[in-house]
Amino acid sequence: MENLDVMVLRTLLKWRQSGKRALLATVVRTWGSSPRPVGSIMALCEDGAVVGSVSGGCIEDDLIYRHTQAYAQENYIPSGAPGFVKYGITADEAHRFGLPCGGTLELLLEYDPDAARLASLVSDLEAGRLVQRTVRLSDGAVTLQPSVAPEALIVSDAELVNTFGPEYRMLLIGAGQLTEYLATMALFNGFAVTVCDPREEYRGAWSVAGVQVLSDMPDDVVLAFKPDRRSCVVALTHDPKLDDLALLEALKTDAFYVGAIGSRRNNEARKQRMIEHFEQTEKSLTHLRGPIGIYIGSKTPPEIAVSVMAEILAVKNGVVLPRDMAVGHAKNDRAVPANDPGVLVCSVPARR
């Protein structure tokens, strides 16, 4: 599956290019608990079709009713300047719209977004560029400009500023069974997945659709992949000849997550190799994660994939994990339980 924002914007673009009226809803403020974070978007077509989400479904239902059924005899998707709407202001409304107790959210509704601006935005996102989209609230005029880093949504009396990014990307080194499970989970979490394995016997058994599979040496693939802040690199082969150089290249980039499978002992051995043979230091290896995964008692490949995917999502979402409180993530192994996921990972031998 592709990035949800890109999917919403691309679908909205198709509706507008075909002459259909539509609106774009953005969560701009929340109070208390809310089902979707600020910046979440959805699009609604005049025929009632919806893509994206701003709640658990009840608010979407209300928007559909208001703009496709209740005013079917009128101009049910208004024209002109954007407007704000709040949901969940009272306890009764919170219950009606399925919001958590005390939850309130505010949406900005943009009517008939300009197709040309949408096309430019979608094109930039498909090209892997980060884009800041500014909406002038007085008339809905949109300006686009490049952004160097993701930014939180900003709304004022005059404008809405929201930063959109391309898909998150995942590069997996090794095409074994664990990789298939992890790649599947990454796809339905919106990552574009690339798998690299020069070993033909592994590539030949690959069975997950929607994944780019490469046969070049992993360190060359990392260089060509050009990991950025929306990228992660995970080594899963247990083979130093394939993993080590690729990891070293990945550590030079802005990838938000770089990690390798293996027990604590194997990960310490990997660090020592890098220090002794590749002029690395403890400091330069600070961001190398391992053993990878959150401890959930995982023992099978699919369970281990769940633990690894959970850790990647936690890091992506800025969650500080207990093991990250130790300097260098897994550097202080004595702070990690004896039955941490790295030990369990080693119970699953590499396919040969």
Q: 25 with 63: CB under 8 angstroms? A: yes
CA atoms of 287 and 272, how far apart (whole Å): 15
Among candidate residues 309, 270, 284, the one with its CA nearest the CA of residue 172: 309
* Domain residue extents for the chain: 4-120, 168-345
Amino acid at 319: V
Average pLDDT, integer, range 101-114? 87
What is the SS3 assignment for 115-175? HHHHHHHHHHHHCCCCEEEEEECCCCCEEEEECCCCCCCEECCCEEEEEECCCEEEEEECC
CA atoms of 198 and 175, how far apart (whole Å): 9
CATH (residue range 168-345): 3.40.50.720
Work out the pLDDT band at 100, boundaries 50, 70, 90: low
Residue 203, sorted as left (phi over 0), alpha (psi -120 to 50) or beta, turns out to be alpha
Model pLDDT for residues 239-274, shown as the tens digit of each residue: 999 999 999 999 999 999 999 998 889 989 999 999
What is the reported pTM? Answer: 0.69
Task: Report phi then psi at 257, rounded to 5.
Answer: -150, 125
Model pLDDT for residues 63-92, shown as the tens digit of each residue: 988 888 755 555 578 889 999 999 876 666
CA atoms of 341 and 322, how far apart (whole Å): 14
CA atoms of 30 and 35, how far apart (whole Å): 9
CA atoms of 24 and 107, how far apart (whole Å): 10
